[in-house]
Amino acid sequence: MRQLYDEHVEFVWSALVRLGVQPSDADDCTQEVFLVIHKRLGTFEARASIRSWVYGICLRVASNYRRGRRTRPQAHEDAEKVSATLATSEPGPEEQLSEHEARAVIDEALARLEPEQRLMIVMFEIDDLTGKEIAASLGLPIGTVHSRLSRARDAFRSAVARVMRDGNAGTRRST
């Protein structure tokens, strides 16, 4: 269990944040994921990779978290705090601004997607799960995963274009 934790804790925490868990709550949700893993590890069947199985648990924990958040007031976390938490090194001021702007556009575009589309983009493009791992995690045929991913990519490109056009992600600077 310790080796599993060491190998996957950063992946779990990051996945939870990308799936809508506030960074301030991600440690608690990460702990919940590993409690579920501990309880169910004996039932793991190697039909899929351990990573996709863990990701499936992350999906359920994040979903339960979001459902619970609907009944409580939403705490607003600014993008800079999230970026600082996820950053591994200290870039210079220009790089930080550019990174912040890009993250703001991506975050806003993802927020404009339907939940299923956002999930597909996050799982494939951000969490680097393979189509096969996504299919196993969601219990879908691989062809369905590919068609949903294609539609999600199209929707994401359109959402990015709208964000850039509208300037709703804090990307416009006054001159």
DSSP calls for 117-142: HHHHHIIIIIS---HHHHHHHHT--H
Q: Do residues 20 and 113 touch, judged by C-beta distance below 8 A?
A: no
For residue 29, count CB atoms less than 10 angstroms from its CB and return exposed for 0-12, middle for 13-18, buried for 19 or more: buried
| CATH number, domain containing residue 163 | 1.10.10.10
Which pLDDT score, from 0 to 100, does residue 79 have? 44
Residue 175 within any structural domain of the chain: no
CA distance 22 to 47: 32
Which pLDDT band, with edges at 50, 70 and 90, does 146 fall under? very high
Question: Residues 86-144: pLDDT tens digits?
Answer: 444 555 665 555 666 777 788 888 888 888 888 888 888 877 788 888 888 888 899 99
Which pLDDT band, with edges at 50, 70 and 90, does 155 fall under? very high
| CATH number, domain containing residue 29 | 1.10.1740.10
In this structure, are 43 and 2 located in the same domain?
yes
CA distance 112 to 133: 25
Number of domains in the chain: 2
In this structure, are 36 and 59 located in the same domain?
yes
Provide the mean pLDDT of the chain.
Answer: 77
In this structure, are 89 and 54 located in the same domain?
no
CA distance 110 to 88: 23
CA distance 39 to 107: 33
CA distance 128 to 108: 20
In this structure, are 161 and 99 located in the same domain?
yes
In this structure, are 70 and 138 located in the same domain?
no
Residue ranges making up the domain that contains 27? 1-77
Question: Does residue 24 carry a pLDDT above 70?
Answer: yes
In this structure, are 29 and 93 located in the same domain?
no
In this structure, are 66 and 105 located in the same domain?
no
Q: Do residues 7 and 44 touch, judged by C-beta distance below 8 A?
A: no
Residue 146 within any structural domain of the chain: yes
* Residue that finishes a domain, picked among 20, 46, 77: 77
In this structure, are 3 and 70 located in the same domain?
yes
Residue 89 within any structural domain of the chain: yes
